[in-house]
Structure 1
Amino acid sequence: MAPAYDDNNIFAKILRGEIPNDTVAQNDHALAFRDIRPQAPSHVLVIPKGRYVSYDDFAANASDAEIVGFTRLCAQVVAMEGIGPESGGQGFRAITNTGEHGVQEVPHFHLHILGGRLMGPMLSRPG
């Protein structure tokens, strides 16, 4: 069972306009903005405007319009940032973290889009 949505998480506050952000793009269903601690030359977060805790929550419960709007905004960000092969870039990584083992820091579904440098291995084995 997914945890209840926390209306006081930082992304909910950003969506309500209580906290500023560096907006890259948005549509009716999603917002894309620059990460405040970028891990790559291009590091953009894409969040749905609805109250979803995680990817699986979003995938199971969002409307078709929300899913399409979110996905299309991700594609728009990749094109705007010039990091996808179709826009002349050399590729990107898209990451979402869920729960304790996924090291999710904010309990609002968000997708990290990172590019502009070689990302290295996906995971390293614990020692």
Structure 2
Amino acid sequence: MTAYDPNNIFAKILRGEFPCYKVYEDDHVLAFLDIMPRAPGHTLVIPKAPARNLLDVKPDDLAHVARAAQKIARAAMTTFKADGITLQQFSESAGGQVVFHLHIHVMPRHNGIALLPPASRKEDVKVLEDSATKLIAALQGG
């Protein structure tokens, strides 16, 4: 397996070199909105520890990511009045992975509405800001 690349886009986001629409952060994970969402509220949850994907992540780091994904999913259900949640994780190119830092997609879903194709459109900044504000409020119990 290829080694972790510390210059991937998510590592740069973690270092503050690239901006993001952060919705949650603790000592172990960062969660932020996907700027090319497949559904409103599409959030990415990543470990702060370097991990290429599911195949090399340390079990404790994976557990932190899973707990944060569940927290985000519960808040997103309310915030986006979702009927369900889709979680996705891709490992290696053949598995569909594009950014080689472990991440879990948390996508609020509504009955009868298909996901948009991956990377099909960049969301409007105001929509992302509004979604982030609402999701942060829900995560803080507000």
Shorter-chain TM-score bucket reads 0.7 to 0.9
Q: Unaligned regions of 5+ residues in structure 1, if any?
A: 122-127
Rounded Cα–Cα distance in structure 2 between residues aligned with 1:100 and 1:67: 20
The match for 1:18 is: 17
CA contact (8 A) 2:31 2:45 kept: yes
Check conservation: 1:41, 1:117, Cα contact below 8 A: no
User: Which structure carries more helix by proportion?
Assistant: 2
Asked if structure 2 preserves the Cα contact closer than 8 Å seen for 1:27 and 1:73, the reply is no
CA contact (8 A) 1:28 1:69 kept: no
Cα deviation 1:30-70 (Å, max 9, x = unaligned): 11000010000120000000110011211xxx153x23322
Q: Is the 8 A contact 1:35 1:43 kept in 2?
A: yes
Equivalent positions of 1:32-51 (< 5 A) are: 32-51=31-50
Counterparts of 2:11 and 2:27 in 1: how far apart (Å)? 15
1:99 counterpart (85, 92, 95): 92
AA in 2 matched with 1:72: R
Q: Scaled by the length of structure 1, what TM-score is found? A: 0.79
Question: Is residue 103 of structure 2 the alignment partner of residue 110 of structure 1?
Answer: yes
C-alpha distance in 1 between matches for 2:46 and 2:3: 17
Backbone CA RMSD of aligned residues: 2.1
> 1:34 touches 1:43 (CA, 8 Å); kept in 2?
yes
Is the Cα contact below 8 Å between 1:42 and 1:116 reproduced in 2?
no
Shift of 1:98: 1.5
**Which structure 2 segments of 5+ residues have no match?**
116-142
> What TM-score results when the alignment is normalised by the length of structure 2?
0.71
Secondary structure in 1 aligned to 2:106? strand
- Counterpart CA distance in 2 for 1:52 and 1:35 is 19
Identity %: 38
Equivalent position SS for 1:56: coil
1:82 is aligned, of 58, 77, 85, to 77
